Chain A
Amino acid sequence: MERLSRARRVRALYRCWPAAGVVAALGLSPAAQADDIADLQREMKDMQRHYDAELKRLQSSYEARLRRLEAKLKQAETKPSAAPKQEASTISSAAPPQPLADPPQGQLPNSYPALAPAAATEPAPAVAPGGAAAQAGSFNPAIGIVLQGKASYFGKNPDSYFVRGFPLGDEAGPGRRGLSLGESEINFQANADPYLFGNLTLSIDPDNHVSIEEAFIQSTSLPGGLTLRAGRFFSGIGYLNEQHSHTWDFADQALPYRVFLNTQYDDDGVQLRWLAPTTQFLELGGEVFRGTAFPAGGPAHVGFGTFNLFAHTGGDIDDSSSYRTGLSWLHTNAHNRTTSVSNAPDDTFTGHSETLIYDTVFKWAPNGNPVEQNLKLQGELFAHYDDGKFNLVPLAGWSTGFYVQAAYQFMPRWRVGARYDQVLGNRQSGPLAGSTVDNLGTTARRASAMLEYNTSEFGRFRLQYNRDWSRGAPDDQAILQYVISLGAHGAHLF
């Protein structure tokens, strides 16, 4: 039966080709003239012919293979079978004699007459890993695509955005005014073999720059609860750091992540995780990174600049609620790291930073069924220590930050959310007074509210309002956003 469905799937794919071709052709020739139409029609006919021929070829090859298989099946059936096999046939013979219903009308040509009844009564062999996967295409990785776009209003010019008291990485800005594309994402993933899984996520920014967001391999069968990962990936620290932007509950990242981690710590490295053999979820992990991502950076490091440790634990409180909480410590080194400031020369920093994160997330749904209603509460607390030279002047000190947020689905399709986030820098005296790292006695903070409408689990529209005191005086911001997922059904982290 597996084979039947695959055959149908193949046909469904082939059926799409001519249509896709037309769409592409139309898209490429906006001013379609008579000649173009004739060309198009010819092309369509060609494609149709090609499609038909291909279909025939596939059909005949499948029929031949099915006949061979049926012969084999008959042969196997006539042989004396083992004890459990006999049970199976006792059960099915006692079952009401009518076979399972015919396949839905008009879907199958009458080319698989013998298989359907045989399949209805005879369960497939229990262990047939990959037995039916005969097509070349079936080894293709799963492909998922995320499309995002926004219309944004910012009271203050977002290009000169800053957070009082902090140097910022290049991703920390709030975006651009007006209509713009968000980040488009293409994800490929598959198992390489029984031991390895591979994942590639490409990100394309609105300016057409393609970047590798994640490209890693991961072990699937190490003993002792160990999982090893290597490549480029979002660090496992905190809670939001690992979550891709399309799964966020707000259109932008929380302030402490913006300020301390340039939205997310994403770097080249290796990760080892150990999952405790307990019913309480307990996971310990550590990572070593190259050290190119903010707050690390600079050309002179040796390529092992960042390391961290994290621990997460969690479980179910009852049928309706569950939680996860964790502690992380990130150590980064910077050598002449430059960060840009609008209307001023770049800042430099050489030294090391320690970032501590405490994260908690709590989820609730009636009876654990989130379809109708669900609630998600989360918060993270940051403490960040810099020790080094900022613009060649010694700088050492702690800064802190946190965010708390709630997202509540009050009926299918609709969610509301609220968030408060802040970061607290330091007052500087001496040569650093009035510089980027001087917060002038203010706390950068922001309050946000959002309303979401989901067309399905793959389509999301969000309206968000921020009142942002990052620069001292308040700034009103509004973002209307869509996040759409295509292709492979991405499973989301907790």
Chain B
Amino acid sequence: MKCRSLCLVACALLLCAGTVPAQALQIFACEPEWGALATELGGDKVTVFTATTAQQDPHQIQARPALIAQLRGADLVICTGAELEVGWMPILLRQAANGRIQPGSPGYFEAAQQVRLLDIPTRLDRAEGDIHAAGNPHIQTDPRNIAAVAAALARRLAQVDPANAAAYAGRAQAFAGRWNTAMQGWAQRAAAIRGQTIGAYHKSWTYLEDWLGLHEAGTVEPKPGIPPSSQYLAQLISEWPAKNVRAVIYTAYEDPRGSEFVAQRINATAIMLPFTVGGSGRARDLFGLFDDTIDRLVDGLAGGAGGRR
């Protein structure tokens, strides 16, 4: 009896699975910036699920059941790569029972493969902290990288969903135009802070600094992924003024206390930057992300001394 009803339930579920109508391309984005980019390029041709939020450290995500379930139905996975998700994506992919999105197949897209990576370690040793062999994975802080990823992602969308290839190409073209204009605006606005020196909580901003011509004096974390000791904070406080550190920047998901502690004592500004889409009220999409990032940076660095923004 019991067995039969169980079988019926299982059959019903299987039928449901078989009769779902052909619908929008299902996209699983590992981080919010790629989710936002997929929405820009895919429009109504895609449904985007974003696995993490701007309040979460993408290095440390639990391999949650909800993520397994979402991966099961995904047609395209968009991750940063460069080992950013090494602590959770491999196990999710193995449990997802979905051959379309395994690494190496067209349904698996890594943004970091589309750009040139910086901070490639010369010494691969965990004594250096949680380093990434392939290079710094936080590529989304430079809009030029977003542009490069957008172009590659548009091609990949067309490959995975050829029926809508023209739509993806059109949207990509439009996005590239708007993005170029916006980038010029950001670069102009940020010209004022070119050459200034900042400190960062984690090595999250290498690409942003590279784009805007900022110098990084060091990080509040003594080594990637290692929280600072009070001794180390004291060392920064004694060293950073000589390097003329004007601001200490951190992300929405990081504990602000370390950055604020150092900033206050060296008469610099602690600036929270959204880091990704959703990291602040204004960072609702990729354009808002950089509008807000540039405003916070420029205002913070121009404002000079004191307090937190």
Contacts and interface: CB of A to CB of B under 8 A. Distances in A.
Interface of A: 1-2, 4-5, 8-9, 11-13, 83-85, 87-88, 90-92, 94-96, 98, 100-101, 103-104, 107, 116, 119-120, 123-124, 126-130, 191, 194-195, 197, 218, 220-227, 273-284, 312-316, 319, 322-324, 363, 365, 367-372, 412-413, 456-458, 486, 489, 491-494
B148 A457 contact: no
Contacts of B29: none
A126 B114 contact: yes
A412 B255 CA distance: 10
The 10 closest A-B pairs by CB, nearest first: A221-B99, A314-B65, A281-B65, A88-B151, A91-B147, A367-B55, A491-B91, A281-B69, A94-B180, A277-B17
Contacts of B176: 87, 90-91
Contacts of A195: 99
Given A218-B94, A220-B99, A227-B97, A95 B60 contact: no
A245 to B, nearest CB: 17
A194 B106 CA distance: 12
A85 B95 CA distance: 35
A312 B122 CA distance: 44
Given A218-B94, A273-B97, A492-B91, A413 B62 contact: no
Interface string B111-135: 0011111111111101001100111
Given A12-B123, A127-B106, A369-B57, A494 B62 contact: yes
Interface in B68-95: 68-70, 72-73, 83, 86-92, 94-95
A392 to B, nearest CB: 34
Nearest to A376: B62
Given A222-B97, A277-B16, A457-B60, A491 B155 contact: no
Given A87-B176, A126-B114, A104 B119 contact: yes
Among B64, B102, B173, find the residue whose CB has the most chain A CB atoms closer than 10 A. B64
Contact of A90 (B64, B114, B180): B180
Contacts of B287: none
A482 to B, nearest CB: 15
13 contacts: A96-B183, A104-B120, A126-B155, A130-B104, A278-B13, A281-B65, A281-B68, A315-B65, A322-B64, A369-B253, A456-B130, A491-B90, A494-B65
B192 interface: no
Given A84-B172, A368-B56, 10 more contacts: A2-B113, A8-B122, A126-B159, A197-B94, A220-B94, A224-B14, A276-B69, A279-B73, A314-B64, A494-B65
Nearest to A321: B64
Contact of A370 (B62, B72, B97, B187): B62
Contact of A95 (B68, B124, B147, B169): B147
Contacts of B98: 221, 225
Contacts of B66: 279, 281, 314-316, 322
B268 interface: no
B187 A96 contact: yes
A304 to B, nearest CB: 20
B97 A275 contact: yes
Contacts of B255: 371-372, 412
B63 A84 contact: no
A281 B62 CA distance: 15
B126 A458 contact: yes
A120 B143 CA distance: 13
Contacts of B123: 12
A90 B181 CA distance: 11
A172 B277 CA distance: 50
B173 A493 contact: no
Given A8-B122, A218-B94, A457-B225, A94 B184 contact: yes
A319 B64 CA distance: 11
Contacts of A489: 83, 86-87
B227 interface: yes
B148 A92 contact: yes
B265 interface: no
Nearest to B174: A87
